[in-house]
Homo-oligomer: A and B are copies of this chain.
Amino acid sequence: MDKTASGLGHLRIVLSDKAYIGPGRADLLEGIAATGSISAAGKAMGMSYKRAWSLVQALNEGFGRPLVETARGGAGQGGAQLTGLGHEVLARYRAMQVATETAIAADVAALRAAISDISE
């Protein structure tokens, strides 16, 4: 009855002016790792290929080094996969999400209690 633990906060990690990662980008990276394709990952998240591709561009350029490697044509008719750095960024982001939710759980619960007596 309460999915409170799922989305109590949006965490955006800012490593530099251009290099940052938030929930959407992390999900996209995860989708690419799972599907091996930008378009498939984007479709699964309900976004256009162009948007997914733009996010990948932003990530690669923002971090100064690619998090996603792409291939056109070829054996499997192209595809995309995470680089080592991409995997690390994703894994650490997920770890930080967990650490954060743990750290703020008590305060979030207290705030929810403080505002939960509204009629409408």
Contacts and interface: CB of A to CB of B under 8 A. Distances in A.
B85 A110 contact: no
Interface in A68-120: 85, 88-89, 92, 95-96, 99-100, 102-104, 107-108, 110-112, 114-115, 118, 120
Contacts of A7: 14
Task: Provide the main secondary structure of the chain A interface.
Answer: helix
Copies in the complex: 2
Contact of A13 (B13, B95, B99, B108): B108
Please tell me the size bucket of the interface on A: 35 or more
B103 A85 contact: no
Interface of A: 7-16, 19, 22, 63-65, 85, 88-89, 92, 95-96, 99-100, 102-104, 107-108, 110-112, 114-115, 118, 120
